[in-house]
């Protein structure tokens, strides 16, 4: 049970209490605890193992420490489970809508008795939301748009969110009687940015015992199907999970089959047919034979059709099988390849940690360098920096540099691209930066031709080094801007401007197909976290997942270089 999963349970408690009109101090206590738990870089389960009192943490009293202990020990919290029976389940879904949240959901419930997304949509269409105090016509429109988006994307869960359910479930399953092997297959294993459902695969001498153990998990709300070797369930979060138990001699074949993608499997089977072999989830069979010639390990299945093992992230039938047949399997980038983070914020703009805290956190991750990139002044709500404050910031950077010789601190700013494509900082200041980041933070709605022109104009500026989160999308929340991505990548390649893969799991921008295109066009790529807190530096792994899906190797990513080479390679 990791900290994210613990925080999620405590947050549900706070949300339900809020709906129930509980004592505000009590609600605050849970919200504070959520923040504290999320802020811990060390797993609280380890604190408990080592008998360190959780009450030493800010905002964690005796009761809260008891709660956390219970969650770590049992995977759930009886108090939360009890609370959830007291409100309609659909209210939680309602609260997760954009522009709603717990406070507004409660108001809608109190004033109009609305308990579900459907009921909310009906009321909004009838114009009844606008008349609720604190809502108004504009909010009503936003809520309707939010529901439409929720409907369009809502069925696919963000991979990072799915992880907070899947990892504890795997931990739980590892305690099943006699379990020998266990893995999450499907899109989860291929690390797609969103997940339709989760496909788990297990091996044990007594499969029915594993299924029984699985079904006892407290998160399971509905059992759609359960047999001796299979179960399909839904969790309270709406996530559907399939568990299959297979024989040890079929494990590799089943893992290939259920990892997919379907298109990849179809092509593998076709290669089998060409060799007189039949491939199924049970194994590889010769002709009409009953006897399997391979199936225990994935590599055996691939070998049977003359292929080396192919990493799950690229199993999409995008040429990986043909390349593997020629002996070309990419050595996909790994987290350890990254030498520094090239995009982060401090309290100088909207970050939550000081420069020194960010620097120390980067150094403790073994990085050789880091880029400090607060916002520019156009983003007033983030307390963006103008030339005067930037000069002041440089003084503080000099002081921190003196205290942290172990890491190179590169001076930067995340400069807004203004509506006409000009940059939100004077040229002489741009020249004083080690690295210049540029981003779109406004006018997302411009038509394609104008947006493209705006971006190209910005990239032409000779000081620009990196174009951050280029399409400005937020997965399931905000569509990418309309822009000729191909034209932008082409020009960036010519100019030597790098494009960012923003590792924040809500962004993952550029996405996998665009990154493939960037590589084809010879455009440089960097992977950065855009951290607003020291703990966000760990989001890097989501960027690595996405880069691997795009088939990127360490050599395709600039921040795998040592600092001198990096500075050379960046314009």
Kindly state the smallest distance separating residue 374's Cβ from Zn ion, in Å. 8
Residue 512 engages Zn ion in binding (rule: CB under 5 A)? no
Min dist. Cβ of residue 211 to Zn ion (A):
46
Closest by CA to 103, choosing from 94, 9, 146, is: 94
Closest CB 549 distance from ligand DGT, rounded Å = 13
Contact status: 186 vs Ca ion (CB under 5 A): yes
What's the min distance (Å) between Cβ of 269 and ligand DGT?
7
Which of 183, 414, 500, 509 contacts Zn ion by CB under 5 A?
414
Helices (H) and strands (E) in the chain, counts: 24, 17
# residues near Zn ion by CB under 5 A? 2
Stretch that binds ligand DGT, among 132-140, 252-260, 325-333, 392-400 (CB under 6 A): 252-260
Q: Is 439 helix (H, G, I), strand (E, B) or coil?
A: strand
Query: Residue 260: which of Ca ion, ligand DGT, Zn ion, none does it interact with, CB under 5 to 8 A by kind?
Result: ligand DGT
Contact flag: residue 238 with ligand DGT (CB under 6 A): no
How many residues bind to Ca ion according to rule CB under 5 A?
5
* Cα-based torsion angle of the residue sequence 292, 298, 303, 306 in order, rounded to the nearest 10 degrees: 110
From the list 81-89, 440-448, 458-466, 522-530, the region that binds Zn ion by CB under 5 A is 522-530
530 binds, among ligand DGT, Zn ion, Ca ion, none (CB under 5 to 8 A by kind): Zn ion
374 belongs to the binding site for Zn ion (CB under 5 A): no
Q: Please state the closest distance from residue 7 (CB atom) to ligand DGT, in A.
A: 25
Backbone angles phi, psi at 65, to 5 degrees: -60, -40
Q: Which two tokens stand for residue 157?
A: 């869960």
Residues 256-275 that bind ligand DGT (CB under 6 A): 257-258, 260-262, 265-266
The token pair that represents 213 in the structure block:
């153990």
**Before 565, cis peptide (omega within 30)?**
no
User: What is the C-alpha separation between 351 and 240, in angstroms, rounded?
Assistant: 36
Find the part of the chain contacting Ca ion (CB under 5 A) among 51-59, 179-187, 392-400, 468-476: 179-187
Question: What residues form DSSP beta bridges with 518?
Answer: none
Q: Among 363, 342, 330, 336, which residue's Cα sits nearest to residue 526?
A: 342
- Listed in sequence order, the residues at least 6 apart from 274 whose beta carbon sits closer than 8 Å to its beta carbon are none
**196 belongs to the binding site for ligand DGT (CB under 6 A):** yes
Q: Interacting stretch for ligand DGT, rule CB under 6 A, among 57-65, 111-119, 189-197, 321-329?
A: 189-197
186 binds ligand DGT (CB under 6 A): yes
Q: How many CB atoms are closer than 10 A to CB 328?
A: 11
At 568, is the secondary structure helix, strand, or coil? helix
Q: b or e along 162-185 (b: 16 or more beta carbons within 10 Å of the residue's beta carbon)?
A: bbbbbebbbebbeebeebeebbbb
- 191 or 343: CB nearest Zn ion: 343
Residue range at the interface with Zn ion (CB under 5 A); choices 121-129, 174-182, 204-212, 412-420: 412-420
- The least distance separating ligand DGT from the CB of residue 157, rounded to whole angstroms, comes to 9
Query: Least distance to Zn ion from the beta carbon of 532, Å?
Result: 8
Nearest to 468 by CA among 416, 542, 428, 536: 416
Give the number of other Cβ atoms within 10 Å of residue 367's Cβ. Answer: 20
Segment lying near Zn ion (by CB under 5 A), choices 25-33, 120-128, 414-422, 515-523: 414-422
Burial class of residue 56 (count of CB atoms within 10 Å of its CB; 0-12, 13-18, 19+): exposed
Instruction: Kindly state the smallest distance separating residue 17's Cβ from Ca ion, in Å.
Output: 34
Query: What is the nearest approach in angstroms of ligand DGT to the Cβ of residue 195?
Result: 5
In the complex, least distance from residue 383 CB atom to Zn ion, rounded to whole angstroms: 13
Name the segment binding ligand DGT (CB under 6 A); options: 196-204, 296-304, 371-379, 477-485.
196-204
Candidates 364, 566, 571; CA nearest to 460 is: 571
Alpha carbon distance 172, 321 (integer Å)? 35
| Cβ 161 to ligand DGT shortest distance, Å | 13
Burial class (CB in 10 A: 0-12, 13-18, 19+), 563: middle
Binding partner selected for residue 224 from Zn ion, Ca ion, ligand DGT, none, CB under the kind-specific 5 to 8 Å limit: none
Least separation, in Å, of the C-beta of 216 and Ca ion? 21
Q: Are 306 and 294 in contact (CB under 8 A)?
A: no
Residue 189, phi then psi, degrees to nearest 5: -75, -30
Residue 187 found at the interface with ligand DGT (CB under 6 A): yes
| Nearest-angstrom CA–CA distance, 45 and 70 | 11
For residue 258, the partner it binds in ligand DGT, Zn ion, Ca ion, none, with Cβ less than 5 to 8 A by kind, is: ligand DGT
CB 173 within 8 A of CB 210: yes
Distance from first CA to last CA of the chain, Å, rounded? 44
Considering CB under 6 A, how many residues would be counted as binding ligand DGT? 14
Q: Is 199 in the site for Ca ion (CB under 5 A)?
A: yes
Q: Select from ligand DGT, Zn ion, Ca ion, none the partner in contact with residue 265, using the beta carbon and a kind-dependent cut-off of 5 to 8 Å.
A: ligand DGT
Residues 6+ apart with CB under 8 A from 336: none
Q: Which residues bind Zn ion (CB under 5 A)?
A: 414, 530
Write out the residues near Ca ion by the rule CB under 5 A. Answer: 186-187, 197, 199, 242
- The binding site for ligand DGT (CB under 6 A) comprises 186-187, 192, 195-197, 199, 257-258, 260-262, 265-266
């Amino acid at each position: 049970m990791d900290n994210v999963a613990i925080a999620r349970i405590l947050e549900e408690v706070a949300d339900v209490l809020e709906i129930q009109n509980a004592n505000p101090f009590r609600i605050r206590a849970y919200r504070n605890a959520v923040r504290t738990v999320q802020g811990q870089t060390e797993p609280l389960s380890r604190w408990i193992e080592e008998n360190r009192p959780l009450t030493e943490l800010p905002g964690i009293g005796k009761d809260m420490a008891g709660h956390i202990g219970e969650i770590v020990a049992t995977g759930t919290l009886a108090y939360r489970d009890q609370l959830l029976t007291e409100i309609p389940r659909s209210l939680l879904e309602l609260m997760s809508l954009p522009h709603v949240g717990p406070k507004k959901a409660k108001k809608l419930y109190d004033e109009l008795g609305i308990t579900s997304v459907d009921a909310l949509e009906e009321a909004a269409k009838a114009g009844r939301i606008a008349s609720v105090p604190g809502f108004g016509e504009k909010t009503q429109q936003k809520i309707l748009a939010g529901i439409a988006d929720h409907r369009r994307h809502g069925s696919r869960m963000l991979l990072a969110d799915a992880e907070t359910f899947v990892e504890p479930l795997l931990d739980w399953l590892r305690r099943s009687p006699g379990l020998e092997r266990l893995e999450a297959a499907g899109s989860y294993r291929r690390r797609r940015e969103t997940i339709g459902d989760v496909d788990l695969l297990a091996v044990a001498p007594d499969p029915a015992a594993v299924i029984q153990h699985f079904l006892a998990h407290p998160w399971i709300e509905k059992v759609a199907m359960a047999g001796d070797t299979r179960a399909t369930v839904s969790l309270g979060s709406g996530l559907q999970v399939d568990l299959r138990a297979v024989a040890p001699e079929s494990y590799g074949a089943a893992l290939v089959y259920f990892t997919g993608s379907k298109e990849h499997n179809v092509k593998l089977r076709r290669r089998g047919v060409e060799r007189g072999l039949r491939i199924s989830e049970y194994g590889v069979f010769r002709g009409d034979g009953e006897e399997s010639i391979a199936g225990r390990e994935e590599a055996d299945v691939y070998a049977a059709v003359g292929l080396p093992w192919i990493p799950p992230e690229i199993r999409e039938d995008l040429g990986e099988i043909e390349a593997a047949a020629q002996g070309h399997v990419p050595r996909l980038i790994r987290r350890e390849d990254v030498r520094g983070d090239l995009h982060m914020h401090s309290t100088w703009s909207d970050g939550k940690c000081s420069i020194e805290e960010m620097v120390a956190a980067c150094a403790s991750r073994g990085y050789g360098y880091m880029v400090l990139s607060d916002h520019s002044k156009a983003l007033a709500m983030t307390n963006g920096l103008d030339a005067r404050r930037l000069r002041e910031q440089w003084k503080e950077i000099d002081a921190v540099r003196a205290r942290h010789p172990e890491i190179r601190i590169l001076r930067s700013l995340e400069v807004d691209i203004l509506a006409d494509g000009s940059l939100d900082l004077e040229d002489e200041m741009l020249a004083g930066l080690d690295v210049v980041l540029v981003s779109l933070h406004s006018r997302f709605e411009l038509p394609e031709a104008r947006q493209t022109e705006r971006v190209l104009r910005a990239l032409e500026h000779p000081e620009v080094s990196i174009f951050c989160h280029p399409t400005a999308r937020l997965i399931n929340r905000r569509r990418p801007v309309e822009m000729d991505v191909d034209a932008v990548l082409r020009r960036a390649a010519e100019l030597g401007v790098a494009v960012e893969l923003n590792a924040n799991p809500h962004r993952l921008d550029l996405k996998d197909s665009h990154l493939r295109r960037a590589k084809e066009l010879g455009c440089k790529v960097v992977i950065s976290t855009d951290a607003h807190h020291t703990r966000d530096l760990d989001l890097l792994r989501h960027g690595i997942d996405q880069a691997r899906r795009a088939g990127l190797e360490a050599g395709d990513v600039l921040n795998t270089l040592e600092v001198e080479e990096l500075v050379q390679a960046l314009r």
